[in-house]
Structure 1
Amino acid sequence: MLRRGKGIELKTTGEIEAMRASGLLVARALAEVGAHAKPGISTGELDALAEQVIRDAGAVPSFKGYHGFPASICTSINERVVHGIPSRQEILAEGDMVSVDCGAILDGWHGDSAVTLPIGEVGPRELALSEATKHAMWAGVAQVRAGNRLTDVSHAVETAARESMDSDGMEYGLIAEYGGHGIGTRMHMEPFLPNLGKPGKGPKLKVGMALAVEPMLTLGSAETEELDDDWTVVTVDGSRAAHWEHTVAITEEGPWVLTAPED
């Protein structure tokens, strides 16, 4: 039976293993999308590929119909940060960067993950941005462990992002309005996980909790706005953005990245 700790869902070992099955399915769907994400393909076609992988496994896309969202993945190209809507009319071009966010529900449990993919040859600044975002994600993942406070994860994400700014010689925008979240029997649950902040604050992390860690960085300002479709979030200055995400469970042994591929 599910228990709750200060509003945060706690899972048993068996329930976390069930979440791993959902996470592996999300990883397979993203791998299929990544294999086909080349110049000339539409984001609508990528959406169909991901949905097929999910439904063939007897699962349901988390995103489709969520508050009216019309697709199974989010495809956010270039200046779009998150929540981009796939379309058969939207064709990927050489040099684009697209973040693909995917979720699946298998036997009642959610998995949620995102990757940023280069389309053909991409410039070094864009590649560095994506790597910095991924580095920040993994730094956060490492702090998803029992005994830490929630903002220890936030602080690790921010610190890693700022380290990349120094090493890359670039000023990345670290987006604060959007962040990670609890996950389990629903896709978005308590707590909200900021991507920056002081350590040692917020609820204490416990074995059985699961969090989605998902930083977003830009090549310019961190200021964003939502388009008229009520979904797509873009950078106000038109700078490119990157987004990486993994679902992570807290076990006695430490963080378990549930959406990592089997290998």
Structure 2
Amino acid sequence: MAESSWAGPGKSLMGRVARLIRPVKKPNDGLRRALGAARVHVSNLRRFASPCLDSKQSSNKTLLSLSLLDSLSPPPPPPAPPTASAATGRDLADAAAEQLGGMEKGGAESSVACARCGKPASLQCPKCAQLKLPREGAAFCTQDCFKEAWSSHKSVHIKLDALTLQQSPEGWQYCLKKGRTRTSQLPRFDWTGPLRPYPISEMRVVPDKIEKPDWALDIKTPEQIGRMRETCRIAREVLDAAARIIKPGITTDEIDRVVHEETVARGGYPSPLNYHFFPKSCCTSVNEVICHGIPDARKLEDGDIVNVDVTVYYKGVHGDLNETYFVGNVDEASKQLVRCTYECLDKAIAIVKPGVRFREVGEIINRHASMSGLSVVKSYCGHGIGELFHCAPNIPHYSRVWHDRLWPDEWTAVTADGKRSAQFEHTLLVTETGVEVLTARLPSSPDVFPWLKP
């Protein structure tokens, strides 16, 4: 999602990173209440960075496919040492942490949890202290945790500064609203010519009787929702059928055969088949494959992990979901990877409701992944779905970049370092009060995830 209009102030803020970690101050109830209200305003401000999930009337609903696609992978190796002329945010965080070495932690042991690892913490990010943010989310147990969390933690400073900029007389509202309105006072900007922006009128309305493109349609009718429920139920049944045959010695081509036959038997069309010339009826992504793996003759081996991505087209709409499964006896690192990925999507779904910004979904996912020592792939994202397989809106689920590569087949995306990747995906219906998971697991779904057992 483009955020070019925020590049100026965001960049300048991220440059002011030289900081020390201070001892955590004791909580002040009145201050915390005030800051709780401030956080609400910050959340409401996020429209500059991302649209929101919208439900305008009682019958209005939004459909999207929210995928953790792509996946959690162990974080990339540390970057090469910077040159003397260019210091990165990480270097500044390192410098701040080094200065911590001679400081006392002060006082008795704190009951506040470290924002990264969850251990008891008695140190606080100085920028958070300067902005008077609550110590929850700003506390760290060691300088190492502070350094590791810096790339994602610094975003909280940007959001609060965004509120200050919006309320300033410099006219930053003009930038935050991306041209939809303009203030009387222009922002400070290095204008390249004599032309200046003038006030613009309200957005004009197109009559309902006129057919609209997909980006203009974000609300589904009750009839469309009914068809989506049917289709998603079929997609879930097809994926469950595929999951039941997964074991060492089975080929991914055999998984594709089951997906194809089960889809056709229910009167559906396997959406991936010939989609941009994709040759199979589902995607099977093994080990380091992030997504879009093509089913082939390789036999699954004991210790593999495999993602099966199923989409069914039925009654004019698509239903999309995927899950990552264990093949035989899997090592603990892979178990943790898959479980954390599942939890990331689960936590993201829990916050979905009208008014939530798309960006907040990514923040929830990225925070949980980074706390588990994993990172999120940026190249792929969740998407709108309905009559079209992929359509607006795109749902980002990252705040950091993790690199990937593409095989010569121009479909199979793999991690750059060959480490394993996992993903889960559901199709969601945003309702008036929350969310309905259209592709939720059924009572008859195979019992393959140990953490779901009672």
Q: TM-score, normalised by structure 2?
A: 0.49
- Give, in whole Å, the separation in 2 of the partners of 1:114 and 1:9: 23
Between the two proteins, the alignment pairs up a number of residues equal to 234
- Residue 3 of structure 1 deviates from its aligned partner by 7.4
| 2:244 is the counterpart of 1:35 | yes
- Determine the structure 2 residue equivalent to 1:196: 398
Residue-by-residue CA offset, 1:110-165 (whole Å, 9 max, x unaligned) = 111010010000011101000111111112212321121221222222122233x1
Farther off after superposition, 228-237 or 135-144: 135-144
Farther off after superposition, 248-257 or 108-117: 248-257
Larger radius of gyration: 2
- Residue 222 of structure 1 deviates from its aligned partner by 2.7
Cα contact 1:8–1:189 (8 A) shared by 2: no
- Give, in whole Å, the separation in 2 of the partners of 1:6 and 1:125: 40
- Residue 8 of structure 1 deviates from its aligned partner by 4.4
| 2:315 is the counterpart of 1:107 | yes
Cα contact 2:426–2:437 (8 A) shared by 1: yes
- Give, in whole Å, the separation in 2 of the partners of 1:35 and 1:148: 36
- Determine the structure 1 residue equivalent to 2:289: 80
- Equivalent position to 2:413, from 233, 237, 241: 233
SS at match of 1:102: strand
- Give, in whole Å, the separation in 2 of the partners of 1:3 and 1:25: 28
- Equivalent position to 1:148, from 356, 365, 381: 356
Cα contact 1:130–1:243 (8 A) shared by 2: yes
How large is the Cα RMSD of the aligned pairs? 1.9
Q: TM-score, normalised by structure 1?
A: 0.84
- Determine the structure 1 residue equivalent to 2:82: none
Which amino acid letter does the alignment assign opposite residue 140 of structure 1? Answer: A
- Determine the structure 1 residue equivalent to 2:326: 118
What aligned pairs does 1:127-146 form with structure 2 within 5 A after superposition? 127-146=335-354
- Give, in whole Å, the separation in 1 of the partners of 2:292 and 2:214: 30
- Residue 173 of structure 1 deviates from its aligned partner by 2.4
Cα contact 2:289–2:413 (8 A) shared by 1: yes
- Structure 1's unaligned 5+ residue stretches are 166-170, 199-220
- Give, in whole Å, the separation in 2 of the partners of 1:126 and 1:139: 20
- Determine the structure 2 residue equivalent to 1:253: 433
- Determine the structure 2 residue equivalent to 1:94: 302
- Residue 5 of structure 1 deviates from its aligned partner by 8.9
Determine which structure has the larger helix proportion and give its number.
2
Farther off after superposition, 11-20 or 40-49: 11-20
- Determine the structure 1 residue equivalent to 2:275: 66
- Determine the structure 2 residue equivalent to 1:168: none
- Determine the structure 1 residue equivalent to 2:216: 7
Which amino acid letter does the alignment assign opposite residue 175 of structure 1? Answer: V
Farther off after superposition, 51-60 or 135-144: 135-144
SS at match of 1:242: coil
SS at match of 1:243: coil
- Give, in whole Å, the separation in 1 of the partners of 2:251 and 2:345: 28
Cα contact 2:381–2:395 (8 A) shared by 1: yes
- Give, in whole Å, the separation in 1 of the partners of 2:363 and 2:222: 28
- Give, in whole Å, the separation in 1 of the partners of 2:424 and 2:317: 21
- Give, in whole Å, the separation in 2 of the partners of 1:35 and 1:133: 21
- Equivalent position to 2:384, from 182, 199, 218: 182
Residue-by-residue CA offset, 1:161-193 (whole Å, 9 max, x unaligned) = 233x1xxxxx21211111101111111001111
- Structure 2's unaligned 5+ residue stretches are 1-207, 444-454
- Residue 7 of structure 1 deviates from its aligned partner by 2.9
Which amino acid letter does the alignment assign opposite residue 132 of structure 1? Answer: C
- Give, in whole Å, the separation in 1 of the partners of 2:329 and 2:249: 14
Residue-by-residue CA offset, 1:74-110 (whole Å, 9 max, x unaligned) = 00111111000001x2110100001111100110111
| 2:263 is the counterpart of 1:54 | yes
Cα contact 2:366–2:375 (8 A) shared by 1: no
- Give, in whole Å, the separation in 2 of the partners of 1:6 and 1:23: 22
- Residue 253 of structure 1 deviates from its aligned partner by 3.5
Which amino acid letter does the alignment assign opposite residue 54 of structure 1? Answer: T
Shift in alpha-carbon separation, 1:253–1:83, aligned structure 2, 3 A: same
SS at match of 1:260: coil
- Give, in whole Å, the separation in 1 of the partners of 2:222 and 2:245: 35
SS at match of 2:422: strand
SS at match of 1:9: coil
- Give, in whole Å, the separation in 1 of the partners of 2:338 and 2:231: 25
